[in-house]
Amino acid sequence: MDVNAAVAAAAAIAGVLTGVIAMLAFRWSERDQKRPTRTSLHTDAVLPPGVDTVLSVLRSSAVVLDEADAVVKASSAAYALGLVRGGKLAVEPMLQMARDTRRDGEIRQVELDLPRRGTGRGEALAVSARVAPLGSRLVLLLVEDLTEARRIEAVRRDFVANVSHELKTPVGALSLLSEAVMDASDDPEAVQRFAGRMQIEATRLTNLVQELIDLSRVQNDDPLEDAEPVRVDELVAEAIDRCRHQAGTKQITMAAGGADDLRVWGNRGQLAAALGNLVENAVNYSPARTRVGIAARQIAAPGGDMIEIAVTDQGIGISDKDRERIFERFYRVDPARSRATGGTGLGLAIVKHVVASHDGEVTVWSAEGQGSTFTIRLPEAAAARDRAQQHPDLDDEAGPDSSPYAPLPAPEVLP
Instruction: State residue 15 phi and psi, 5-degree precision.
Output: -65, -40
Q: Which amino acid is at 87?
A: G
Between CA 198 and CA 270 the distance in angstroms is 30
27 has a pLDDT exceeding 70: no
Per-residue pLDDT of 147-187, as tens digits, reads 888 888 877 777 777 777 777 878 888 888 888 888 888 88
Residues 6+ away with beta carbon under 8 Å from 204? 170, 342, 344
Asked whether the beta carbons of 64 and 134 are under 8 A apart, the reply is yes
- SS3 string, 2-37, reads HHHHHHHHHHHHHHHHHHHHHHHHHHHHHHHHHCCC
In the chain, the domains with their CATH numbers are: 42-145 (3.30.450.20), 147-220 (1.10.287.130), 224-413 (3.30.565.10)
Asked whether 215 and 353 are in contact (CB, 8 A), the reply is: yes
CA pair distance 174, 35, nearest whole angstrom: 87
Who wins on pLDDT, 197 or 212?
A: 197
Residue 153 CB-density burial (10 A; 0-12 exposed, 13-18 middle, 19+ buried):
exposed
Query: What's the CA angle centered on 23, arms 22 and 25, to 5 degrees?
Result: 65
Q: Choose among 382, 381, 379: nearest CA to 395.
A: 379
87-113 average pLDDT score = 89
Determine if the pTM surpasses 0.85.
Answer: no
Cα 50 to Cα 55, 64, 265: the distances in Å are: 9, 14, 50
pLDDT in tens, 384-400: 666 655 555 444 443 33
**CA nearest 115: which of 99, 131, 127, 98?**
127
Neighbours of 389 (CB within 10 A): 8
pLDDT at 407 over 50: no
Q: How far apart, in whole angstroms, are the C-alpha atoms of residue 87 and residue 74?
A: 9
Q: Which of 93-107, 257-271, 275-289, 380-394 is least confident? A: 380-394
Of residues 362, 342, 202, the one with CA closest to residue 283: 342
Q: Which of 145, 74, 85 is nearest to 116 (CA)?
A: 145
